[in-house]
Amino acid sequence: MTSPRDAQIPAWLTQGESYDPPRDHDGFLTKSLLSLAGVLARMRLDDGQSTPVSPSTPLKLVLGLGLILLTSLSGNFAFVLVVLCLALARAALLPLRALRRSMAVACAAAGLTFLLMAPALLLGQAHSPLLLGTKVLTTCLVAMGVALSTPAARLTRALRTLRVPATAILTLDLALRSIVELGRTASEVLVALRLRSVGRDRDKRSSIGGVGGVLLLKAGRSAADTADAMACRCFDGTYQAAPDATRPHARAVDAAWLAGGLVLLVLFFYLQGLV
């Protein structure tokens, strides 16, 4: 019988492991999907806080949509710059986190628009990329300013005050919440898949199909939970047009904002006549 001292380690146990898994060529696809999922996860409405000098939520929505429409229709660059200055002044009053988010979204959209319109420079239309880029920057700042300075519940009530059908409000509300949740889930699943992948994946369709299957199951479970929660709370899809909380000098503030909107409307038609 061999003693433990005479026992020898097998040769295959003394050999080092030099396994080098082949690299997979899926960097562009993975980064693109992760970026898309990250964008969807960030499409949330933060519980913004209105200031004492903010107008009522329905008037804020009307003024925001009006500014976006006038900026889009304007052919005079001076009017776009005026609205841009006002939007930047309003954005400067936002909290730091909201200001960063607003400027990041607006600058990214404006930069992408300028790049897409850059070939117009070769055709002698040097004014078009600058005008469209500035318009996109302005409209994004206005939209983000309205969204980030108003609580989500007030936006819902304001839509009902403006006689928007309850079905449309319910669809928009659930869609925004579901998109954010599904985007977060997709980002987590993609990161988990990337961490568990070793070597080259020769069947990428099944991997992407697995991610889609997880999202489908998550969507079905979320829909069932939402339906149960609505049934428990006796919610039948009706949104009440409740007014905003009473604020001091609310009518005076709304009148001042409405007067400013009328001044911008007059300025728009005046500058349009100079084009």
* Longest pairwise C-alpha distance within the chain: 109
- Between CA 186 and CA 212 the distance in angstroms is 8
Q: Which of 108-117, 152-161, 162-171, 174-183 holds the top average pLDDT? A: 108-117
Residue ranges of alpha helices (H) inside 121-249 are: 127-148, 152-161, 166-196, 204-232
Residue 275, C-beta contacts closer than 8 angstroms, at least 6 positions apart = 75, 76
Check pLDDT > 60 for residue 213.
yes
Averaged confidence pLDDT in the chain:
77
Q: What is the mean pLDDT of residues 108-126?
A: 84
The CA distances from residue 73 to 79, 269, 273, in Å, are 10, 11, 13
Distance CA 22, CA 196 (A): 15
CB 49 within 8 A of CB 152: no
Amino acid 207: pLDDT: 65
Q: Grade residue 50 by pLDDT with cuts at 50, 70 and 90.
A: low
* Local structure of 256: helix, strand or coil: helix
pLDDT of residue 28: 46
The Cα 84–Cα 149 span in angstroms is 17
Length of the chain: 275
